[in-house]
Structure formats: C-alpha cells, structure tokens
Structure 1
C-alpha cells in the first residue's frame, strides 16, 4: 500500500476495469446513467430520503460517527422504486461481480448514503469486516456505488486508500486515521471497489451541497445477506425476477439454503 498511489482514470473498457480493480482495488466507470434516467433515479432517492426523515424512519450505521446528523442512510432502496432494480441488476455490475467475486453470488444489500453540508466522515473500514482474518486471497464481495450527484472532494466523496486491498486485512492502529484519496466522479458514474479496499465517506465541507450515492453490496453466497430479502422485498420484484435475479436474492440456491435437498422458488 502506498498513499501516493493515484486513482485510475475513468474507463469504459471492461478489461481495464478489471485491471484497475486488481491494481488499485477500484475502478471508475463514467456516464453509466445519463439524461432522464439519471434525473429520475436521483429524484426517487431524494423522495425516499425525505419520506424517511418526515416519518422518523432514518437509518444509521455503526460505522457512522454518532454525533453527525448530516449524513442520512436510506435502507432497502431496492423496494423503494423500480428504478433501483435497474441499478442492482445492471448488466455491467453483474459482469464485474462474476469476474471479481465469482458466481453464484448474492446481492447482500442495496442502500444509499446522502451526506449534507457539514457532514462528517465515516470510520475507515473494508466491507468484508465480517470475514475472519486472515482473509482469503480472493475478495469476498464487491461494492458498486452509483453517483447520483457529482462526487467531489468538497462534498464528501468516498475516500479510499489505494492498494490497501493488497494488505488483506482491516486497518490497524494509526492506519484508521488515514485520510485516503477522494474518488471524484461526475453524476451518473459507477465507482466499483472490491471488498478488501479501505474506504470511508468523506467530510462534506460545503455550505449547501448534498451528495447522494446508492451502493450495491454483493458477496459470496457463503455469507448471509445484510438485508433479509425474504421479509423486506417488494413482492413483485420476486414475482417477475429472472433466474439470475432469483439467485442474487437467494431465492434459488446451490448447496446452501435448499429445501428438502433442492432449490425451489
């Protein structure tokens, strides 16, 4: 790991994405969402966030600093609007998942983070913190972040420690104080990072800007998903799901989670 490592430039070439994830732990893919689709998805997320705040249903994570009330989490985004299905099951995201983690895999969670003016940073961590160390050589998950606003250094862009995935462990001691490098990307971009990469939400030092991102967290099927889709999923998602989506949601299983020795739906 070297904090002087620079982030890879944005790319739309699939093989370069994989090379960037292997070398840096992450890749940036520009212009995946554009035009009215981007605008509608952004509006849907902010509407869901406002609904939660109005009704006192805001969510927090253990990795958030408790004194910070500017960051808002939106849980189970998958069930909030059909537009979010298009993010969770986007063909490029699933192709990257299959190449980096393998198949079958699970959609463990689909949530959002909106950091507002004055918002504090998150605790530096890796997403596979639930995996006992020493970690396997292969990443156990993949995080695909969808930038619904421009991600800038000033408005709290996700910060990463390039190359930290090669240490194959969580941050230790003073490493948890590393500031990392902001992943700056325009709205509509995907930021993809493997589960061993150290990262955190950055400080939002602006006076008025919000920064919204939707994060799809996928994992190896040997781990229980963070979101219990069997209880929380909007019924029509399962009703009209493809074979691939049923696997991602855990409704079709291989070896684990079967019923009377077989996978059923």
Structure 2
C-alpha cells in the first residue's frame, strides 16, 4: 500500500499515474476568479434555501455527529446553471473518458458542507454495490470533487487511505479506524479519486472555517444512477443539454436504456 501522497499536478499523464498508484490526484487551479466565486455563491445560496425551508436531509448514513454541522445538498445539478458546467468540464471529462471509457453516466452531483465542529464520517469505498472480489478490470466509478473552499487537514477535507484501492475490497471491519491523510487542495482545485479508494469526510476542528465541496460521481453505464434524473432534473437541462450532458444523464443510450431498440434521443 502506498505511504506517500501524490503532489498536486496539472499534467494529465501524471494525474493518471497518481490515480493508478495512490487512488487519487489533485488538480489545482481549475476554477478561478469569477467562475469560482459564482459557483461558491450558488452552492451556499442553495444550502441556505434548504435550511430556510426545512429541506435538509435526515442523518446521512456515512456522516457522524450533529447533522446540522455536516449539511448535504442533493440534486445540485438542478439548483443553478453553473453546476452544469462542472458536470461536463473538459478537465473532469478527460479523466472520466480515460478511466471509465465512454459513454459513462453521471450517478450523482451533491455537495457536502462541513462546518466547524463537524465530526466527519465513516471510512468507506464507493464500489460496494459490487460483490467481492471486485473486477480486475479496475474502478467502476470515479469521483470528481470540486474544492469550493480550501480543503485543509483541519477544516474537514476528505480523508483517504492512499493506495487502498489496490486492496480491491471494501473496508474490513477491523480497519475502520485505519490511518488516513487529508486530500488538501486550495479552493478551485479538482480532486479526482476512484471508486475503490477508502475515504471519509474529515473532522472540522477549526473555530471559523467552513469547508464546502461538490462531488460528481461518474460510473460505467451498467450502474444505476444514485439520483433519478428522470424525476429530479429541471426540464430545461434535458431540453437544452449538450450531447455529452444527455449521455451522462442517460437520455442518449448505447446498449442500455433503449426505447424500441434505439436511443431515446
């Protein structure tokens, strides 16, 4: 198992090498300036609206402690147009195409906002929908996490066990408290990690720093999406979506989801 963290890199080939060896890679400076500011404002606005209307989700199974300190925002894709840009960002889709192949599906786009005092979460892998041993073909899913605020060791950055993807199994009961490292990344970074990597939300031990991240979950096409886009999606996203977006949402199909033998669109 790897004992070192990969250095952040904007080199795509090195990022892929980091994924193979460590299970994750940090790509800095993908969002910047006004784009990052608009995205951050849109996310915090959606989170505030959920709190105001009492629409916060009950305790999420992977979170510990007080739910009010670890807010989940679901169906982020329908909340503001800026999030559509994240889903099909060229830097994100480059990793999706290389690791999972194409076509692929967007299983979910959700946010995790970790406020001071949040107790983090339980160590897990995202490929537990498969029986073990997992396929030798490699990861069946890929997370692209967008650091909307700085991710630091103290403010609740996602924590991982580097190299754990090479175990090719879910977290054994006796390793739930395995040593982890924080995926530290400045705001605007893209953190890519594969579905077999053991990870969890970190503890926020700061007095005044909130850590917000948006997590795009992509999978191979045979995997059922976590979000039911056909029920949850705002109509205009389907109506005006690009070919890539419609493919990711399952509206353009190849092999699965056909209607009378053809893709629905």
Shared fold, TM over 0.5:
yes
Give the Cα separation in 2 of the matches to 1:130 and 1:53.
Answer: 31
Q: Within the alignment, does 1:195 sit opposite 2:195 as a pair? A: yes
Match of 2:43 among 38, 42, 45: 45
Give the Cα separation in 2 of the matches to 1:249 and 1:261.
Answer: 18
TM-score (norm 1): 0.97
Q: For residue 174 of structure 1, give the secondary structure of its aligned residue in structure 2.
A: helix
Once the two structures are TM-superposed, the CA of residue 174 in structure 1 deviates from its matched residue by: 2.1
* Cα-to-partner distance string for 1:39-73 (whole Å, 9 max, x where unaligned): 11001100000000111111242111254431000
Once the two structures are TM-superposed, the CA of residue 93 in structure 1 deviates from its matched residue by: 0.6
Give the Cα separation in 2 of the matches to 1:68 and 1:262.
Answer: 44
Give the Cα separation in 2 of the matches to 1:179 and 1:44.
Answer: 34
Give the Cα separation in 2 of the matches to 1:226 and 1:262.
Answer: 24
1:209 alignment partner in structure 2: 209
**Correspondences of 1:52-67 after superposition (within 5 Å):** 52-59=50-57, 60-65=59-64, 67=66
Q: For residue 218 of structure 1, give the secondary structure of its aligned residue in structure 2.
A: strand
Aligned structure 1 segments of 4 or more residues deviating by more than 4 angstroms:
none
2:154 alignment partner in structure 1: 154
Give the Cα separation in 2 of the matches to 1:68 and 1:244.
Answer: 35
CA contact under 8 A between 1:159 and 1:179: conserved in structure 2?
A: no
Once the two structures are TM-superposed, the CA of residue 132 in structure 1 deviates from its matched residue by: 1.4
Give the Cα separation in 1 of the matches to 2:60 and 2:247.
Answer: 27
Give the Cα separation in 1 of the matches to 2:77 and 2:145.
Answer: 14
Give the Cα separation in 2 of the matches to 1:73 and 1:192.
Answer: 20
Q: Within the alignment, does 1:227 sit opposite 2:227 as a pair? A: yes
Q: For residue 176 of structure 2, give the secondary structure of its aligned residue in structure 1.
A: helix
Q: Within the alignment, does 1:186 sit opposite 2:186 as a pair? A: yes
Q: For residue 177 of structure 1, give the secondary structure of its aligned residue in structure 2.
A: coil
**Correspondences of 1:218-257 after superposition (within 5 Å):** 218-257=218-257
**Correspondences of 1:1-265 after superposition (within 5 Å):** 1-2=1-2, 5-59=3-57, 60-65=59-64, 67-137=66-136, 138-265=138-265
CA contact under 8 A between 1:108 and 1:218: conserved in structure 2?
A: yes
Give the Cα separation in 2 of the matches to 1:261 and 1:241.
Answer: 22
Give the Cα separation in 2 of the matches to 1:68 and 1:225.
Answer: 24
CA contact under 8 A between 1:117 and 1:207: conserved in structure 2?
A: yes
Structure 1 alignment gaps of length 5 or more: none
TM-score (norm 2): 0.97
Once the two structures are TM-superposed, the CA of residue 117 in structure 1 deviates from its matched residue by: 0.6
Q: For residue 165 of structure 2, give the secondary structure of its aligned residue in structure 1.
A: helix
Q: For residue 217 of structure 1, give the secondary structure of its aligned residue in structure 2.
A: strand
Shifted more, 62-71 versus 169-178: the winner is: 62-71
Give the Cα separation in 1 of the matches to 2:134 and 2:251.
Answer: 27
When the two structures are aligned, how many residues end up with a matched partner?
A: 263
